[in-house]
Structure 1
């Protein structure tokens, strides 16, 4: 649950001096909060007693943190540490969106994430983080787009490129595709709720017609496909990508 600055400052007056925001709460504070936080997550060093405060989830931080990041006076776990903590503890489908988002926010780079994974060696879930960090891409623009990309990769299909610009014959960029295989002129789109807007629908129809007329093969998927039948996505794209 999001908390305003006043609420957080009041909370930290009740917490141990070493406490800092972590997990989903730190990610939101640091600008890459793609996962909903149902509580305020706080981390404390080992040996420090966990305070019992309603609505607060306290984690013992096994690895030392030399210096927290202050955002509006609130101490937070550094971005790379926070992203890897989440990448090894949330479900796989949510982990890649976190890694993509921290890169997109510019809070760290891929080398920072790789180094952080090494520091987490031996901790629960680090194998998942180690597998996903090399796949992270800051060009991804939303959680579902990252998840759709992961479904394709886990389905043993070639990794698609996020946010592919398509230009006209004069080199003028006209349209951008969520995911694409540029050389094959194959595009993949996630259709969320915004696509139901009438103006957006008109734009999408114009865009789809232009792409089809210029040799692009497009496939569109929804939340039902992504969360209930990922196998359908993989089978559909495998048929399109077949030589």
Structure 2
């Protein structure tokens, strides 16, 4: 029985250029046609043990090997590398190319062309990527408005971008396409927003005229002791709104939530909780419930 071919360590988990592996004597073209290797892009391969169809980082690694000089991973793909996951599992890798650069189209690549100075490019985890500031600037200019705000909030929350820096960066590029939308997004941006759905819920309430509201508000009891932190709040009326994600359904988290909600109620707070279905499919009913709660609290005598 023949022993399995030895896999060079450098090629065991990361994508690589097939022509380079052959030139260096690590593999042959015949070997790469075998079952141990997966072809991702023209001349780009990965070992089967390193292949994950829905691994966006793997696809970024692969696409980066094909980028022409001066180009970079950008958009939602760059945001993903910076720690803000705004992608679905089948999304192609977004790349930003200088207008004179050339790159062969591919279903796994979304090509965007724009001015890309060296100051807007960096290397992150070994990959050429737009800076976090340029990434936020680009995503904040792309419709729809809600998606633009979700992206900017996510990058601000990851603390890879500061709101003051982004405003200054945008002001210096006021003539670029989409900056009118970006100005509106920056006026609504909230670095404390902890999830895309929380941003969507907050924008829904603001658009309904239910602002101003406070994100990530710390609730204290009558003695000044910490009771809990709520996603969105109207402190003067002691009304809070929270987004209830799937993690709240885990047994341990559920028990903690029950104790927390009881403590908030004892402190005089009314907490409304909404799911993604409420926000995306039943926005009018969601707004109506919040509006009613605020109206009731405004009319009720304040507890002491």
Equivalent in the alignment of 2:207: 154
Separation in 1, partners of 2:246, 2:161: 31
Q: Does 1:101 align with 2:154?
A: yes
3-state SS of 1:89 partner: coil
Contact 2:231 2:240 (8 Å CA) reproduced: yes
Separation in 2, partners of 1:119, 1:50: 30
Q: Does 1:26 align with 2:78?
A: yes
Equivalent in the alignment of 1:77: 130
TM-score by length of 2: 0.73
Contact 1:51 1:58 (8 Å CA) reproduced: no
- RMSD of aligned C-alpha atoms? 2.1
Separation in 2, partners of 1:145, 1:177: 11
1:183 pairs with one of 236, 250, 253? 236
Q: How many residues align?
A: 242
Q: Does 1:217 align with 2:217?
A: no
Separation in 2, partners of 1:3, 1:193: 22
Contact 2:205 2:287 (8 Å CA) reproduced: yes
Deviations 1:179-199 (A, max 9, x none): 111222110011121222233
Separation in 2, partners of 1:155, 1:82: 29
Equivalent in the alignment of 2:259: 206
Q: Does 1:89 align with 2:159?
A: no
3-state SS of 1:66 partner: helix
Deviations 1:87-122 (A, max 9, x none): 221422222222122222221211221123334434
Q: CA deviation at 1:25?
A: 0.6
Contact 2:240 2:271 (8 Å CA) reproduced: yes
Deviations 1:124-166 (A, max 9, x none): 4332221011221211111111111111111121132111112
Q: 1:8 to 1:210 in 2, by over 3 A?
A: closer
Unaligned runs of 5+ in 2: 1-53, 299-304
Contact 2:215 2:232 (8 Å CA) reproduced: yes
Q: CA deviation at 1:65?
A: 4.8
* Counterpart mapping for 1:12-23 below 5 A: 12-23=64-75
Q: 1:145 to 1:10 in 2, by over 3 A?
A: closer
TM-score by length of 1: 0.89
3-state SS of 1:43 partner: strand
* Counterpart mapping for 1:219-234 below 5 A: 219-234=272-287
Equivalent in the alignment of 2:112: 59
Q: 1:34 to 1:53 in 2, by over 3 A?
A: closer
Greater relative contact order (Cα 8 A, min sep 6): structure 1 or 2? 1
2:99 pairs with one of 16, 29, 46? 46
Equivalent in the alignment of 1:193: 246
Q: Which has the larger radius of gyration?
A: 2
Separation in 1, partners of 2:144, 2:118: 24
3-state SS of 2:159 partner: coil
